[in-house]
Amino acid sequence: MTGTAGSGTDRASFAASGRVFWLLPLALLGLPLVIGSYVQYIVNLTLVYVLVGVGFNVVLGNLGQLAFANAAFFGIGAYATGTLMYHLKAPFPLALCAGALAGGLAGALVALPALRGIRAFYLAIMTLAFGELMRWIYINADAVTLGSMGMQVPRPTLFGYVLVTDVDKYYVFLAVVTLLVAATANLLRSRVGRAFTAIRDNELAAASIGIPTARYMVLAFAWSGVVVGTAGALYAALVRHVSPEAFNLLELILHFGIVMVGGLASLAGSILGAAVLTAAPEMFRDLPGYEELLIAILMVAVLLLMPKGLASLLARASPLFRQRYFRD
């Protein structure tokens, strides 16, 4: 891909290669200069939910499995990170990696029933039960989790530097989220992503062309767990309070909403869905009592008008946003 800079074909190949997407995090570097401290907190929260949506969508949209353990992955990541920082005074980067790892292991664990041939509604109820079981553990393993009151997470530090303000956290979050979204995009635009959607579309046919379906199912769940577990780790660092109530069924419905409003199997959609559903409650905050109602109306309206979510708007704007499962 060499040639004279600025020529039309160069721009086209630059866009088609997907490198154009790096412009977004670059532009976001300047965001703290133009927003206030409260909005900064909401932006940080949005970054957390971008990972929540992107990770959930891998299992729900790409692998096509009705698995609802996402709030559990989120909680496991948050508790792993919070516990290490609270009890062991672990530095944040280490605790973050532990949160990602714990989420990934939980993902691989949840894939086990799917490997036994449990699908659809049966997988849905089993994974919902797993989420509630985790909440029971958070409440009852109080020597570690401090029970239903939750635990106060110490200030995150990065190589000895304490992340005090939300702007400090923002740059760390932006780096982590960009890295994981780019990695997920790489994964989806490869034989791995194709294997996921092949399994979703026709599992027997996938096996018949040499795809080890069981291995890729575990991989999809584990990667989903890594991404969502990392979201949990960032959440623990942002809110600095981890309690069982943060990972209940209502939270799961929010995760589900992000994926559906954004669009199944669309990476760009998950990002947009996270932004809309994190920002909307804040915009409606001036109308106390109507907050939930307005969010519900928003979700219904989007899905009625755009069954494929906000991603279909993006795809109409530019073919760049159409999820592709190869690169050329």
Partner 1 sequence: MTDPLIALSDVTVRFGGVTALSGVSLSLAPGEVVAVIGPNGAGKTSLFNAITGFVPLADGAIRLRGARIDGLMPHDISTRGVRRTFQNGGLFPEQTVLENVLSGLHAEVPGNPLAILFGLPGARRAERAAVARARALLDLMGIRHLERRPAGSLSGGQQRMVEIVRAIATDPPLLLLDEPAVGLAPPVREQLAAIVKLLAKERGIGVLLIEHAIELVMAVADRIVVLNYGEKIADAAPEVVRADKAVLEAYLGHA
Summary count for the chain: helices (H), strands (E): 15, 4
Shortest Cβ distance from residue 204 to partner 1 (Å)?
7
Shortest Cβ distance from residue 58 to partner 1 (Å)?
12
CB nearer partner 1, residue 201 or residue 245: 201
The 10 Å Cβ neighbour count of residue 137 is: 16
CB nearer partner 1, residue 81 or residue 266: 266
Shortest Cβ distance from residue 244 to partner 1 (Å)?
32
For residues 123 and 126, what is the distance between their CA atoms, to the nearest angstrom?
A: 5
CB nearer partner 1, residue 213 or residue 248: 213
Q: Which residues bind partner 1 (CB under 8 A)?
A: 182-183, 186-187, 189-192, 194-195, 197-198, 200-202, 204-213, 219, 265, 324-328
Shortest Cβ distance from residue 9 to partner 1 (Å)?
17
CB 36, CB 42: distance < 8 Å: no
CB nearer partner 1, residue 286 or residue 328: 328
Strand ranges, E, within 6-123? none
**145, two tokens:** 């989790």
Shortest Cβ distance from residue 51 to partner 1 (Å)?
15
For residues 261 and 140, what is the distance between their CA atoms, to the nearest angstrom?
A: 35
CB nearer partner 1, residue 7 or residue 17: 17
CB nearer partner 1, residue 11 or residue 327: 327
The 8-class DSSP code of residue 155 comes to P
Distance of CA 212 to the CA centre of its chain: 26
Shortest Cβ distance from residue 278 to partner 1 (Å)?
26
In the chain, what is the straight-line distance between the N-terminal and C-terminal CA atoms, in Å? 11
Instruction: Collect all residues with Cβ–Cβ distance below 8 Å to 237 and sequence separation of at least 6.
Output: 81, 92, 96, 153, 156, 163, 169, 172
